[in-house]
Structure 1
């Protein structure tokens, strides 16, 4: 569906304008002594944000945790809620059925929760019920899979799928510098998903920038079995490869099994998402995998923290603008043996 304008949506936009006006007025007002006093009102401080406030009831709903990354998403949401003494979490059963998830959100609305954190099994399918929540005065924090209306959420927090492809391609370009005839292969996830398409586009764009291209490509399904089957097909069809990017470390378990079964080691492998399994192999530096690109499994945990701030009318203390941003896109850094210690504590188990 296209962008839907609602009374709640117009009110949200008006609220943003009011905040901007307040910020501008604060910035333009002084007592005549330049350089003295605060330039702007930065909203709540980090100390104020950490203080317990009124209890916030947050409804959390996500897909079924049928692989490692989604399992980490769910456990991260629970851990974040437990870390706040003023948060009561109501968790819906994980499901890959959009109708069941819609019913869960409707129940949250009926219960009058203070905020909803939602990783939709299908962003378009959950858009209308998210708008209903917003119209009921319940802020929705949209995680990972975007709704099809800007008025369906108060905050959208995303991983950077296109950026993952760019990061993987840039790393491979650096490692293959000067090898204009290098054979670069790609093992994608589910091709019908926009996130897979974004990852592949970012990868192709980064390779093009250094004069390379994807020579061979197969798609899997984010599962171990799918990764093994896709990698076996790729290796059989391509006797010589210089580098492979595998989109997902969960399916990477199967990819590595296929590589080891084939006895191939003439190339290096870059993973995706950032599992602890792959980071440990990167750290050991005794196999073809040399790097992985982070797709944060902390998004739902961040969503819980932001839902608390919004419900308590607090702000992000490190921003000058006294608000919580409406859209946050997280980074997609490359993890290698040189920096793996910085990331492994936040990695998920495949």
Structure 2
């Protein structure tokens, strides 16, 4: 996500907690996070190679998704004896992040993984790294100038909306619901990433002859999520489906739903938090699915930086070099497959 919000360019995944991808810099309780346990490196490209130093810079963890981003990056680096992980102090201050990245350039690291607070404002320092011969793996919030990074990896905001729309459309069609009341709780409505999610949602629903009845943004915070959900529940005495873009703000949304004692609709979340997965797994919640924007993308970014720094390609591809761009699929987590995803969930 390329916006100045503490999250995916959004928060996610998972991650993105919240993107989003995606979230705000509003104060929040200190989050906890989880990452897959390190596993022994396997064969092929995972065999020890030239020792490389990988610098890492990301926003401060004011939400679970961002906390999980940092944890996933660190966990992935620990899997390799040939990697020295060199993170800088996380910050939500643009100038401080620029200074931190400049310190990594001065340290002559072999590769950089950067999740910028704002891709536009950190574009110049990323160009400086590239000019210094340091390949940059741009994580999530994209730099506008492709010369600023060697490889971009991030989530699919449009795909999140498509996945949510298809799940809701299929569920309502199977119940022969006509003219459904569908409400949408966005993150920050003015952000491109939010607009992409909403567009994907609308496009998917259209295939079933459905459309969004009402939508409101909730700023990617628990508090605002609670307020917005309360307002929507009061405005609509009957709802058939709800899509909440972000599982972090979803904590507040679910609290409002429980407070209102409403259960007549199905709800889909976004990012893939552990608490959302537990709700789905319980089988007793209106939350029946969530669509992923996983912070595991940070683990993959570290792996890609290592390969690039060592002059390797991806062993499953015929090409000799790592691709220039990798967009992760947004997967739909339901009660049927939630057990397979629990280890990847992050705590809101």
Q: Into which bin does the TM-score normalised by the smaller protein fall?
A: 0.7 to 0.9
Alignment-derived partner of residue 35 in structure 2: none
Alignment-derived partner of residue 142 in structure 1: 138
In 1, Cα distance between equivalents of 2:169 and 2:68: 31
Alignment-derived partner of residue 96 in structure 2: 100
Deviation at 1:47, TM superposition (A): 2.9
Give per-residue Cα distances to partners, 1:29-64, cap 9 Å, x unaligned. xxxxxxxxxxxxxxxxx7331111221111100011
Corresponding residue to 1:133 among 121, 129, 135: 129
TM-score by length of 1: 0.86
- Give structure 1 stretches of 5+ with no counterpart: 1-45
Alignment-derived partner of residue 122 in structure 1: 118
- Tell me, what secondary structure is at the counterpart of 1:117? strand
1:318 aligns with 2:316: yes
Corresponding residue to 1:87 among 78, 83, 86: 83
Give per-residue Cα distances to partners, 1:277-322, cap 9 Å, x unaligned. 1111111101111000011111111111100000000110000112
Alignment-derived partner of residue 346 in structure 1: 344
Give per-residue Cα distances to partners, 1:65-102, cap 9 Å, x unaligned. 11111111110011111111111111111111111111
- Tell me, what secondary structure is at the counterpart of 2:213? strand
Alignment-derived partner of residue 56 in structure 1: 52
Deviation at 1:264, TM superposition (A): 0.7
TM-score by length of 2: 0.86
Deviation at 1:180, TM superposition (A): 3.0
Instruction: Work out the number of aligned pairs and report it.
Output: 305
Q: Which structure 2 residues correspond to residues 295-334 of structure 1 after superposition, within 5 A? A: 295-334=293-332
In 2, Cα distance between equivalents of 1:341 and 1:287: 16
- Tell me, what secondary structure is at the counterpart of 2:72? helix
In 2, Cα distance between equivalents of 1:202 and 1:159: 14
Alignment-derived partner of residue 40 in structure 1: none
Deviation at 1:153, TM superposition (A): 0.5
In 1, Cα distance between equivalents of 2:318 and 2:271: 31
Alignment-derived partner of residue 232 in structure 1: 230
Deviation at 1:341, TM superposition (A): 1.3
In 2, Cα distance between equivalents of 1:229 and 1:190: 14
Alignment-derived partner of residue 112 in structure 1: 108
1:69 aligns with 2:56: no
Task: Output the aligned Cα RMSD.
Answer: 1.0
Deviation at 1:116, TM superposition (A): 0.4
- Give structure 2 stretches of 5+ with no counterpart: 1-41
Larger Rg: 1
> Which ranges of 4 or more aligned residues in structure 1 deviate by more than 2 Å?
none
Give per-residue Cα distances to partners, 1:125-174, cap 9 Å, x unaligned. 11111011001100000001011011110010010000000000000000
Flag the structure with higher helix content: 1
Q: Which structure 2 residues correspond to residues 175-254 of structure 1 after superposition, within 5 A? A: 175-177=171-173, 178-254=176-252
Structure with the bigger RCO (C-alpha within 8 Å, sep 6+) is: 2
Q: Which structure 2 residues correspond to residues 247-266 of structure 1 after superposition, within 5 A? A: 247-266=245-264
- Tell me, what secondary structure is at the counterpart of 1:343? helix
